[in-house]
Amino acid sequence: MIIDGHNDRVLHHWRGEPTLHLDLEAAREAGFSGGFFALYVPSPKVPDPEEIPYSMPLPEAIPQEEAARIAEELFAAFCELPVVRATSVDDFREGQVTAIVHLEGADPLAPDLSDLERWYERGLRSVGLVWSRPNAFAEGVPFRFPSSPDTGAGLTDAGRELVRACNRLGILVDLSHLNEAGFWDVQRISDAPLVATHSNAHALSPASRNLTDSQLDAIRDSGGVVGVNFAVTFLREDGHNDPSTPISEIVRHIDYLVERMGIDHVAFGSDFDGATIPDELGGAAGLPKLVGALRDAGYDDAALAKLTHENWLRVLAETWR
């Protein structure tokens, strides 16, 4: 069983585009049991960096009313996918694809949170406070390399209330795309394990989107999880957007995180359909190759079970009500 921290399959379905990495039947046959399916209200396309270093400004904020309208369309597209909607860890089973409804950016939510419980009733169980743009709740990190994630202000008052409301309802708060000041605000407020669904080690690849050692330590100390992102620009030491990047770069980040945080705090967070990933992996159907590479690197069956699904199931069970 493989549970994954992030994909953008819904966005492609909404746009009527073919999937890049996540043919659901091929994925299921490869052991993919689902994970976090993002509802992402898109900004204008951010071009892939062609030169290093790069520094791209934050995209403009999207008006809440527009974001809410698009999120409704995305949710309808999600409902068309042949997946089981997850509201309990017991919904995950081998041989089926189970999907967590995840807002990648809280832009569609009303700042007074008057619609949050309605979203919860529809199955929302994970909220990323931001994508890499500002909204009523927080500010995301711009795409920069090299750069620390310390790029702007922390949570707004509405953002702090959103974290508390998510804790109360049992909605996971995702720290990926959030700047460092916002990260530490969540760490101070939240009574749930800290989670970054699709982020990597800044010590190995100094992209603004990656997590510093102090952030990794805080996630570990909270009992949380980091899902390792397969995006090559966040894997490589040089930051290049090179699809010939080998699977061993994913293993390198997993090794680092396991050594820093412990085996109980690391998982997969692919970013399938949302980023350039190694050609050697290909997509979800290639996940057995990654598991094989981890086995070759010395991970035994017990460790592989934690990395592939048990760590996600544990943190979900500790977060959801």
Helix or strand (DSSP H, E) at 304: helix 301-305
Pairing of strands 54-55, 144-145: antiparallel
Q: What is the mean pLDDT of residues 156-176?
A: 98
The pair of three-digit structure tokens given for residue 124, joined into one six-digit string = 């929302």
Q: How many Å apart are CA 304 and CA 251, to the nearest integer?
A: 12
**Residue-wise pLDDT tens digits, 222-272:** 999 999 999 999 999 999 999 999 999 999 999 999 999 999 999 999 999
Chain centre to alpha carbon of residue 119? 19
**Residue-wise pLDDT tens digits, 137-164:** 999 999 999 999 999 999 999 999 999 9
Number of domains in the chain: 1
Exposed/middle/buried for residue 8 (C-beta within 10 Å: 0-12, 13-18, 19+): buried
Identify whether the C-beta of residue 183 lies closer than 8 Å to the C-beta of residue 155. no
**Cis omega (within 30 of 0) for bond into 82:** no
Identify whether the C-beta of residue 219 lies closer than 8 Å to the C-beta of residue 196. yes
Q: What is the CATH number of the domain that holds 300?
A: 3.20.20.140
**Residue-wise pLDDT tens digits, 39-97:** 999 998 777 777 899 999 889 999 999 999 999 999 999 999 999 999 999 999 999 99
The answer to whether residue 321 scores a pLDDT higher than 90 is: no
| Domain span holding position 70 | 2-319
Residue type, 136: A
Q: How many Å apart are CA 250 and CA 236, to the nearest integer?
A: 9
Instruction: Count how many residues are written for the chain.
Output: 321
> Can you tell me whether residue 153 is helix, strand or coil?
coil
The pair of three-digit structure tokens given for residue 258, joined into one six-digit string = 């396991």
Q: Taking the model in full, what pTM does it have?
A: 0.97
